[in-house]
Amino acid sequence: MPENRLQRSLTHAFRLPRDRYRHVARWLDDTTGGGGLVRRELRHVFPDDWSFFFGEIALYCFVILVITGVYMCLFFKASAAPTVYLGSYRPLRGVGMSEAYNSVLRLSFDVRAGLVIRQVHHWAALVFAAALVAHLFRMFFTGAYRRPRRLNWVIGLSLLSLVLVNGVFGYSLPDDLLSGTGLRIAYSITQSIPLIGPNLASLLFGGDFPTTGLIPRIYAVHILLVPGAIAGLLGAHMGLLWIQRHTQYPGRRRDDRTIVGTPMVPAYALRTTGYLLLVAGLLTAMGGFLQINPVWLYGPYRPWDSTSFAQPDWYTGWLEGAVRMTPAWDIHIGGFLLPGLFWPAALLPGVVAGFLFMWPWLDGLAMRDDDLHNVLETPRDRPGRTAIGAGLLTFFATLLLAGGDDVFAATFHWSLPTLLAVMQGLTIGLPFVVGLLVYAVFRRRHLVVADEVSP
């Protein structure tokens, strides 16, 4: 049988004599001095569990966002200068609009594969945020935030905050009707802050809304400032993870001193690279088959246009719901006004962020636990914490659903005021009900398990 030449050369490419690998290794050590380090870290241990992949999903979404984002930068024009659309989408031909919106239409209709890239970018952003929230709650429910990982919890929350903020900026850039409506609301929220509100809004937006300088400003922040900060914090997050090593679920031979898992090379590296491509594949499929943010249907932003079903992307939806449900609580203090918008839109996210940032210390104080932990707990181990987390999740979920109340009312022919009242009740009551229920169930199971373990 004749030797296949391709086969032979491929075999040779990978089955080098040991000398060749030594040669490469020597070159590496000579040029970097890190041969020993690399050798040790090739065997870096990664414990395996499906729930550890949320962070990886987020990381890979970021990679895809950067790649697709750079591509879109080549076509997007960050300018509010007025133009008239003359492209190939007929229902907008001859319509006056900003350069920014015009360039998004051009990217969507007249740049090959431009629409796919744009849609992949947007889907990646939505899945990114979803993965981060799932990651956050995985940490919460398993106690991964305890010492020595408190700092990394704070870094992770900072990352989440930056991602959400940058998502809002990305939503705002195309200058379509939803973009502009969102910015108008953001301006009003800034304006509602006591004392500094009006001038802070003017400073950030470059004057009184709407301003022509805003889009270039958001652009610089969206593509440079925040992604740079995310990249830096991500490096710190991953660096700490690397130094401290990943947490692990309890199991045989596993304790706070001993870690058991898959070595990085070759198995884990192959799997995670494959996973990167699976994430990319799924997001590309979504970008190809599921239409997202069809800005040509929304039209260009003009301050006198508006639309029903004006929702933000899902990760801002909880604030949208809070804004919709908070009654008209304008407060007058000695001739000054505290607008009702301040409570749900400025105070609530501050309180939520503050609580989450402080959580590892609150938990440590409450549990009198200042030890170093590398083995995770399960939700059943800590019924109280699990109840708090379930209550928090319920709270966010009701707020999020309320953010789409007009969509539900119109779609299912419900009465919006009734739905609003129901959602207000559920938002206040349901978190406690769910929390107590979860506590009762997990407390019982906890005791049962404890009984089985103890003689």
Partner 1 sequence: MMARLPRHGRLAAVLVVAVVALAIVLPAAVRAAGSSPSPVPAASAPAASASAASATPATTLSATPVAGAAAGPGAALFAANCSVCHGDHGQGIVGPSQRAAAFPSLVAGMVTRGGISMPAFRQLSPAQVAAASDYVATQIAAPAARTATVAQGGELFRLYCSGCHSSTGRGGALSQGRNAPSLADYPAAEALAAMILGRGNMPVFADTTFDVRQQAAVALYVETLQAPPSPGGWGLGYIGPVTEGLAAFVGLGLLVLFAVWLAWGKGGSRAEAPAGQVEEQAEPRPAPGWPAAIGLLVAIAGALGFVAFFIVGDNAQKIGGTLALGFLGLGFALAYWGRDLTSDEVEVDRYPLPPAPSAAGPDGTTADVPAALGDELARSASVLTRRRFLTTLLVGAAAVLGLSQLALAASLGPRSRGLRTTAWTPDARLVTIDGVPITRDALAGGGVIVAFPEGHTDAADSQVALLHLVGIAPLPGRETWSPDGFFAYSRVCTHAGCAVAQYEDEAQMLLCPCHQSTFDLRDGCRPVAGPAARPLPQLPLAIDADGFLTAQRDFAEPIGPGFWNLYA
Distance from chain centroid for Cα 443: 32
Is residue 326 within the footprint of partner 1 (CB under 8 A)?
Answer: yes
Identify residues 6-35 at the interface with partner 1 (CB under 8 A).
6-7, 11
Amino acid letter, residue 237: H
Q: In residues, how long is the chain?
A: 455
Question: Residue 96: enclosing H or E segment and its boundaries?
Answer: strand 96-98
Is 71 among the residues that bind partner 1 (CB under 8 A)? no
User: Pattern 392-431, binding to partner 1, x per CB under 8 A?
Assistant: --------x---xxxx-xxx-xxxxxx-x-----------
Residue selected from 24, 25, 73, 372 as contacting partner 1 according to rule CB under 8 A: 372
- Single out the segment in contact with partner 1 by CB under 8 A; choices: 12-20, 152-160, 266-274, 426-434: 266-274
Q: State which of residues 83, 158, 161, 184 lies at the interface with partner 1 (CB under 8 A).
A: 184
Q: Which stretch binds partner 1 (CB under 8 A): 72-80, 117-125, 346-354, 389-397?
A: 117-125
Among residue numbers 299 through 318, which ones bind partner 1 (CB under 8 A)? 299, 302-314, 317
Q: Give me the DSSP letters along 386-407.
A: HHHHHHHHHHHHHHHHHTTHHH
Q: Between 345 and 387, whose beta carbon lies closer to partner 1?
A: 345
Q: Which of 14, 30, 33, 112 binds partner 1 (CB under 8 A)?
A: 112
**Does 95 interact with partner 1 (rule: CB under 8 A)?**
yes
Please choose, out of 183-191, 353-361, 389-397, 446-454, the segment that lies near partner 1 by the rule CB under 8 A. Answer: 183-191
Q: For the beta carbon of residue 137, count every other beta carbon within 10 angstroms.
A: 17
CB of 159 to partner 1, least distance (A): 17
What is 315-369 written as a DSSP string? Answer: HHHHHHHHHHHS----EEETTEEE-TTHIIIIIHHHHHHHHHHHHHHHHHHHHT-
Report the DSSP beta bridge partners of residue 96. 84
Query: Each residue of 254-293: b (16+ CB within 10 Å) or e?
Result: beeeebebbebeeebeeebeeebeebbeebbebbeeeeeb
Token couple for 436: 């107590």
Strands 82-84, 96-98: pairing kind: antiparallel
- Tell whether residue 230 is a contact of partner 1 (CB under 8 A): no
Segment near partner 1 (CB under 8 A); pick from 23-31, 332-340, 346-354, 426-434 = 332-340
Q: Which of 261, 389, 391, 435 binds partner 1 (CB under 8 A)?
A: 261
Q: What angle do CA 5, 11, 15 make, to 5 degrees?
A: 150
Pairing of strands 336-338, 96-98: unpaired
Among 232, 281, 354, 425, binds partner 1 (CB under 8 A): 281
Q: Give the three-class secondary structure for 299.
A: coil
Q: 245: helix, coil or strand?
A: coil
d(CA 176, CA 82) in angstroms, rounded, equals 13
At closest approach, how far in Å is the CB of 443 from partner 1?
Answer: 27
* Total residues interacting with partner 1, rule: CB under 8 A: 169
- What tokens appear for 74 in the block? 């080549």
Tell which one of 34, 251, 354, 425 touches partner 1 (CB under 8 A). 251
Single residue of 27, 273, 429, 440 touching partner 1 by CB under 8 A: 273
- Closest approach, Cβ 440 to partner 1, in A, equals 28
Quickly count: other Cβ atoms within 10 Å of residue 43's Cβ. 9
Select the span of 158-166, 219-227, 240-248, 435-443 touching partner 1 (CB under 8 A): 240-248
Nearest to 159 by CA among 242, 59, 67, 71: 59
Q: Does 359 bind partner 1 (CB under 8 A)?
A: no
Interface pattern 150-179 for partner 1 (x via CB under 8 A): ---------------------------xx-
Q: Is 446 in the site for partner 1 (CB under 8 A)?
A: no
What is the footprint of partner 1 within residues 36-55 (CB under 8 A)? 43-53
Q: Which stretch binds partner 1 (CB under 8 A): 187-195, 382-390, 434-442, 445-453?
A: 187-195
The values of phi and psi at residue 81, to 5°, are -60, 140
What whole-number distance in Å separates Cα of residue 167 and Cα of residue 78? 17
Give dist(CA 244, CA 247) in Å, integer. Answer: 9
Does 210 help bind partner 1 (rule: CB under 8 A)? yes
> Looking at 294-302, 348-356, 378-386, 430-438, which segment touches partner 1 (CB under 8 A)?
294-302
Give every CB contact of residue 58 below 8 A, 6+ residues apart in sequence: 128, 131, 132, 135
In the bound state with partner 1, the residue whose beta carbon lies nearer, of 224 and 366, is 224
Distance CA 249, CA 378 (A): 8
**Interface pick for partner 1 out of 153, 187, 396, 442 (rule CB under 8 A):** 187
165: left (phi over 0), alpha (psi -120 to 50) or beta: alpha
Of 158, 244, 378, 424, which lies in the binding site for partner 1, with binding defined by CB under 8 A?
Answer: 244
